[in-house]
Amino acid sequence: MASKNVIELTVDSFDSEVLNSEQPVLVDFWAAWCGPCRMIAPIIDQLADEYEGKLKVGKVNVDEQGQLAAQYGVMSIPTLIFFKNGEAVERLVGVRPKPELDRIIQKVL
């Protein structure tokens, strides 16, 4: 089940939710038809719940928000981009194990 702590990001909300966020933000670029995206989705939901209040977690559907995917050079999905103070500070492509994501989040926090 999807986490209530994951924000659906759009072109209209991206600046306010990500670039102007007080907290670091993990953005998951995904699509409904993408098998690896479905594999990592439960991990993303878990992270959103575990780091609630410390890390914001958002998802960008690349089919609906192609402009954002292009703006951030997303060529393969899933792509995870970590933002801090409005800057992209870390980028991962493909499914990654939760411990690796935890390590990166600790670094970004």
According to DSSP, the β-strands at 6-8 and 56-61 are: parallel
Q: DSSP string covering 59-87, please?
A: EEETTT-HHHHHHTT--SSSEEEEEETTE
β-pairing verdict for 56-61 and 25-30: parallel
Asked, as a colleague might, if the bond just before 78 is cis with ω within 30 of 0, I would say: yes
The catalytic residue positions are: 34, 37
